[in-house]
Each structure stands twice: as structure tokens, then as C-alpha cells.
Amino acid sequence: MAYTPDRLATYNTKRDFEQTEEPRGQVGSGAGGYRFIVQKHAASRLHYDFRLEWDGVLLSWAVTKGPSPAPSEKRLAVRTEDHPLDYGNFEGTIPKGQYGGGTVMLWDDGTWAPQGDVAAGLKEGKLKFTLQGTHMKGGWTLVRMRGKEKRENWLLIKERDDYAEDRPNALIEGEAISVKTGRTMAEIAEDAPAKELPDTTPKRRRKRPAFVKPQLATLVSDAPSGEDWMHETKFDGYRCLASIGKGGVQLFTRSGKDWTDRFHGLAHAFDALPCDAALLDGEVMAARIEGSAFSSLQSALKTGAPLVFFAFDLLSLDGKDFRKEGQMDRRERLAKLLSGAPQGGPLRLSEHVLGSGPEVFERACKAGAEGIISKRIDAPYRGRRSKSWLKVKCTRRQEFVIVGYSPSDKKGRPFASLLLASHEGDTLRFKGRVGTGFSQDMMSELAREMTPRKTPPAEGTPDEIARTAKWVRADLVAEIDFTEFTADGHIRHGSFIGLRHDKPASAVRLEQPKKDIPTMESKVAGVRISNADRQVYPEAGCTKGDVARHYETVGERMIELAGHRPLSLFRCPSGIDGQCFFQKHDNGGMPDSLSKIAIEESDGDEADYLYATRPESLIAAAQMGSIEAHIWGARVDRLDRPDRLVFDLDPDEGMDWPRVRDAAFEVRDALAELGLRSGAIVTGGKGVHVWMALRRTRGWDTVKLFSQTFAHVIAGHSPDRYTATMSKAKRRDRIFIDWLRNERGSTAVAPYSLRARPGAPVAVPVTWDELKTLDAPNRFSLGDMKARMKQDCPALAVQEDLQSLTNDVVAALQDWAAQD
């Protein structure tokens, strides 16, 4: 679609504003928010007009069949002319004979958050975003169709998330009512009066938690390196505690000021949380960053532009105080509470990285961040400054009290520079001046806010500055970025960032970096292991150093079997009794010895996956708190061609081992009937993996279909012993033949991987003869591996025995299935 310099010229040309009540087109300032609307439009053909606020106008598409919550549905969305922002409030009837004649209803209204650069997305033909409206929620994508049509055809597609549904027309079923006036289409056409809309604000019963003093971070010169630290990007906004409960949300600054009114754009951000009361710690930022993050926030507060609350701690929930719990435990509770909040909406969970503090800090600085906050994962929440929270800054940045200014000789400029000071004990002492970083609007604001006084409020101002200085009341706080302090303690090369209205001037003191928090270290195969004496398996007495040495012992053999395959690491930074989680992506904090590969995921986006190429990779993963390694069934050089097929025999709780062991032999024999040879791996848990190596001649679809069919045939022949369905109910007193390991992206535990279970068991390949006499699937532990490495490995023999799922094998399976 070609655009004239006047973004709304086409809109205005098509309409006779003497005949229609539609608003006359005027481009907005471009500094507005992220509003989206959908108007149900009964023109010559019923459709839904989807509009996104951007750059002073409403980008518009006509969705012919209406939006669908089913990801499989791709709804045609025809790009139409840009509309004025005022059109977002239009509801009524366009006269017959006029362009678009018919009834218009405001069907949906809310906010949108772009995922990526909007201008680039419009140009390239792919725009991803998150919606938070009455009807449309969650992730959506607009994709431009290729073709030479005169009109610009796009497809509106729902992302697969918690708001997706299988019913294609679920959003538009039934009689719709306006989100603005509560009227139906017929009532709008009749110009019936507006109705009172139902109050959708959640009815919470518990009293809002009281404000508590927030935990503050200690400034240090270097980031801690141990895996017992988590790291977050240091936000450049306003610290905020959100108290949720009866009567709505109350938002406090770090000093306890009630700024609910100033943060009014976040009033409904917390409505979706499934709780009666909660106290969250976080940071308020501008949703749209233009220039510095802090100046963008100040601008948003003045103009009413959208805000975002980044939550990073949960202090209480439904009457329970969690401040005595460890950092990661609180984090886990917070993530669960926020799991239903729309991705990309105004309420977001802050991102974090475990371990590798120096690397995380380096990347943050390269990305232009102010710095990072490092938090001990086992520390409670303390309402004071402590060393369990550390901050590391990329630049010298401090808050100072404004005590005066030097006059300017330039016309229209209220001052040449600000005079700054900081408290030292009971004394306010001069610390230098700053004359850059001001916009004209900010200079005017500062001139209005500074209150003159006759005497200097600070000591130590040099005579040459004091002679011409104009003094002001010491009640304004400025944030200043600078390179260093001079020998006399004055700032050098300072630049003004903004005013800090959330902090009292009396609290401003210089922060001097303290020495790093020491960690106990050792080395394993040249890899530095911090906190090597930390207990990982408390019952077995095994430490983090023991885990690293295990992967040194089995590393060569494990790489032969599991190397060069995308990994999913199971990390337990606090040991197996603490919080554990899977990680498959490189989130910016993983060691360089773990290789990365970009893989396209199901939603079409690429993500960096991890894989190991040498024993040091596995040891480095252990340094990051990893215990288990799970692998894909394909290698990184041909991800589309699996070379490994696995059946995981997973028994119901309480089933005795002999039944599981017998099942492994039955699966082996059934495969043998099809002409396929297999091996066995005891998993260190409850079950057994029966597996084989494949020639890379078939794709994932074939391997998955074969394994699915095989598992269902086995289960069909012996339904009292087996199930091929994941359902817990159907697994009762049965063994689940888990064929799902053979899908693209699925993983199975790697041979010789430790398991995060009591006793430090290891997944070990065994011969069929050995399996006959084995008394448990977790028979092997960490302490057995040195002796085991002196024996031949059964899995290496299986890996060299490449087999194919030939047409004869598939036909034999089909014949076997037909006999049932």
C-alpha cells in the first residue's frame, strides 16, 4: 500500500464529514500509547476492523471472518487506510451511500505490546504482538501474503498459548455487545441509549498488605561468579511495591509514598492474578523506550503513555509472609502467580540468569544496560541494604542533591549547569556540577521546580563557582552519569539523566563499591568450580565438586554417545532438595565451552540451543548447577534426520522392578520380530530405555509414526499390562510405553547422566544378560563409575549397529497390528 506524506489523506478523501459522524482525520503526536481496538462493522459485508495505535494513527485491517482463537485458523485481514486516533471511540451508524455505510460497534478495546521493531515488521510483512483486551488476549501475528493483488492481504493468526482455543469462532459466537456502551448491533442502529456495563474488577476479600521497607542492593565492583547467585538486568525506572487486595491495588515508591495515582496506567494490570491479596516487589518502566529508559519513564508519566511493572519478588500471598524463604523459592512462587498474566502485557516477570555473573555483566554492558543486580538464591528478603543483593554498574552513576546553578549567558537558557552535592555524615558537601544531558523541556521544568534561597546549602563549593552561583533549596534529587571522581572528589564529565521524585534528598549519599563476595573454588579438568563443597545430594554426602568430577570421569564416553546433540539440562543450583528446572536455551549466561546452535521452533522463531562437544562442556554445565543431561534423537549436523529411537518404559507408582524388567525383554523381542536389534539403558529412576541406532534415512514424522504405532500395538495386545497413553489414570498398575521421546524437540536422559534423585544414581547402558540379574533400575551410582569406565560400553556397540525403518519393517508392523 502506497502512502502519501499525509498519513490520513486517504481516510479524509473517502469520507464526507457533512454526512457521517466519523471523526475528521488528524494525525496524533505519535507519543501516545499502545491502544488496540476492534470494531464490528456491518457494512455491505459483515467484518471486524482490527486497529493498532502506532505513530499517531490507527493501523487498520479488515478481518473478513473475524478473529479466531484457533492457531490453525488463518483469517484474512485486508490492510486498509490508516485511521485517526479518535476513531477508536467511534460507535454508531455510517449513513447508507457513504464509504463503509453500516453499523459500527466497539467490539474490543485494550492495549497491545509489539514483539520486535514495528516499522521493520510492517516492511518485512510479519508483525508479532501481545493483546490484552476484553476478547482478544495473548500472542497474535499478522503475516503479509505474497502476491500482486492491488490490495494488501495479510493473515491474522493466534499464537499457541493459554488463550488459544480449538473452536475457530469461539470469540465471535453469540450476540455481541459493545465494550463501550453495552449495546447490541441492533440497539446501536436504533441509537438506543448506552447501558451500564458490568464491573469486571476482581472482588478480592483480603485486606491489602501494608508497605514494608524494600531490600536494597550493595554496590560492588565485580559480579559474583558462583552458581548460588542469580542475576537480573538493573532496571532504569522507579522501584515500586504493589499491594493487592480488597479495594484494588496500591502502588508504593521505595520510600513508602503512595504513587497509585501517578501510576494509574497500571491500575488493572494486576486484575488477572489469582489471589485475594499479595505484595509484589518490582520496577515501573515505560512500555515504549525512546532515548534513555529513565527519560522515557518520566515522559510516560507526564503524557499518560503505557507503563510496565516488572515483578521480581513476592513478599506475601493470601496472608502468608514469604520473606523468610530463600530467593529462588520466592521466585518460583512469583512465577506461578504470574503464569496467567498475558505475555508482553503491562505485568511482566523479570528475566534472570543463574550463575556466570561476570559473563552476564559483560553482556549487559555491551547491550547498553546500566548494570546488573545479583541475588543470593538462598537468602531471605531483608528490608534494608544487604550483601545478599549486589549491584554492579557498567558506568559511574549516582544520585546527587541539587543545591544551586550557574547562570547562563545564552538567551532562553535558564542556567548553564547545576551544582550538585551529597550527604557525608550530617554535612551536605559540594560534589561538582553538570551542564549536559538536558532537553529544553527539562531545563524549563527544573527552573520551575527549583526554589531560590540566599545562602549556600552545601559546604565546600570552590570560590570561583560560588561567586556567581544561584542557590536553591536542597530538596531535588538528580541522577547523574559520569566517568570518575577527580582528586578533589568532584564528578568528571557528568551528564544529567533525570529527576528522582521517588527518593528524598536527605537519603542521598555516595555509594562506594565494596569488594566482591568471596566464593570457595576448585578446578576440575581446568574448569573452575565455585562452591565445590556445596551439598548437592545431602543423603549421599555428594557435593557440587563430586558432580563435576563425575562428568570428568564419564566425559569421553558420554560425548561419544550424547555429544553434538541439542541438550536439555536439568539444573539444581541449591541441590536436589531445592528448586530444579530444565534449561535448553542459551539465555546469555551459559559458559562458552557449551556450544550453541540456532534452531527454528514450532512458532517459526529461532532460539539458541545448547550442545556439548567435549568433556569440559559437561563439567562447565555442572559448574552452572546442572545435574542431568537430556538429549535429542538427532545430531546438530542433521536435525531433520533422527539417528536414535527410544522407548521409555515408565511404570506406575509402586510397581515392582521384575515386572518392568520383564517388559523390557518383551519390547526387545517384539522389535526383533520386525527384524530390529535393540539395547537397554537403566535410567537411574524407575524404568528402562529400550533403544536402537538408526541410519539417517527417515524424517521425524516417519520415526514418530512408527514408534507410536508400535507402542499402541504392544498396549493393544496386553492392555492389562501396558498403555501407550500418557494419562495418569490409564497408567494405573500398568507400564506406559513412552513413544513421545521420538518427536522433534523431545529428549531422553543421556547415557551416564546423573539423576537428581536421592543416592546420586546414574543412567547406565547394560547388556541384556546383565539386565536379567539386575536388582533395580537405580542400581548404579556416582561411586560406581570409575570401575564402570574400565569395562566395554554396551551402548557403543548398539550405536555402531545402524538400522533402517525400511518399507519391509513398516509393512511387518502393519501386518502385526492387523492381527489384533
Q: Which of helix, strand or coil describes residue 785?
A: helix
- Residue 163 DSSP class: T
Smallest CA-to-CA distance from 719 within 708, 705, 709, 733 is with 733
C-alpha cell at 266: 497500571
Cβ atoms of 94 and 49 within 8 Å: the answer is no
Q: Which of helix, strand or coil describes residue 510?
A: coil
Domain 216-393 maps to which CATH number in 3.40.50.970, 3.20.20.70, 3.50.50.100, 3.30.470.30? 3.30.470.30
| 235-251: b (≥16 Cβ within 10 Å) or e | bbbbbbbbbbbeebbbb
**Cα-flanking dihedrals φ and ψ of residue 649, to 5°?**
-90, 105
Distance between CA 409 and CA 414 in Å, rounded? 9
- Give one word for 489, left, alpha or beta, with left for phi > 0 and alpha for psi -120 to 50: left
Identify the pLDDT of residue 4: 44
Distance between CA 401 and CA 406 in Å, rounded? 15
C-alpha cell at 733: 498398575
Angle (CA) 484 486 488, round 5° = 145
What is the bridge-based pairing of β-strands 74-83 and 152-158?
A: antiparallel
In this chain, the answer to whether the domains covering 216-393 and 522-631 adopt an identical fold is no
- Residue 447 DSSP class: H
User: If you write DSSP's letter for every residue of 131-142 in order, what string do you get?
Assistant: EESSS-EEEEEE
Identify the pLDDT of residue 3: 41
Cβ atoms of 416 and 435 within 8 Å: the answer is yes
The third-level CATH classification (topology) of the domain covering 522-631 is DNA primase, PRIM domain (3.90.920)
Q: Which residues are catalytic?
A: 234
Distance between CA 666 and CA 783 in Å, rounded? 31
Please report, in angstroms and rounded to a whole number, the separation of the first and last CA atoms in the chain.
60
Identify the pLDDT of residue 31: 46
Identify the pLDDT of residue 33: 61
C-alpha cell at 185: 448491533
Distance between CA 150 and CA 158 in Å, rounded? 26
What does pTM read for this prediction?
Answer: 0.55
Q: Which of helix, strand or coil describes residue 654?
A: coil
Identify the pLDDT of residue 482: 87
C-alpha cell at 443: 531545563
Alpha-carbon distance values, 196 to 89, 97, 108, 777 (Å): 17, 32, 16, 65
Average model confidence (pLDDT) across the chain:
90
Domain residue ranges of the chain, discontinuous segments joined by +: 9-189, 216-393, 397-507, 522-631, 644-818
Q: Which CATH architecture does the domain made up of 397-507 adopt?
A: Beta Barrel (2.40)
Identify the pLDDT of residue 765: 97
User: If you write DSSP's letter for every residue of 564-618 in order, what string do you get?
Assistant: TSEEEEEE-TT-TTS--EEE-B--S-S-TTSEEEEEE-TTS-EEEEEE-SSHHHH
Distance between CA 67 and CA 157 in Å, rounded? 8
**Cα-flanking dihedrals φ and ψ of residue 675, to 5°?**
85, 20
- Residue 516 DSSP class: P
Identify any residues that bridge with 158 across adjacent strands, giving them in sequence order. Answer: 140
- Identify the segments of the chain with pLDDT beneath 70: 1-5, 29-33, 162, 199-201, 342-344, 514-521, 603, 820
525-528: list long-range contacts, CB under 8 Å, 24+ apart. 525/552, 525/555, 525/615, 525/616, 525/619, 526/616, 527/593, 527/616, 527/619, 527/620, 527/623, 528/225, 528/623
Domain 644-818 has CATH 3.60.20.10: no
Residue partners of 708: CB distance under 8 A and separation at least 6: 724, 739, 742
| 453-481: b (≥16 Cβ within 10 Å) or e | eeebbbebbeeebeeebebbebebbbbbb
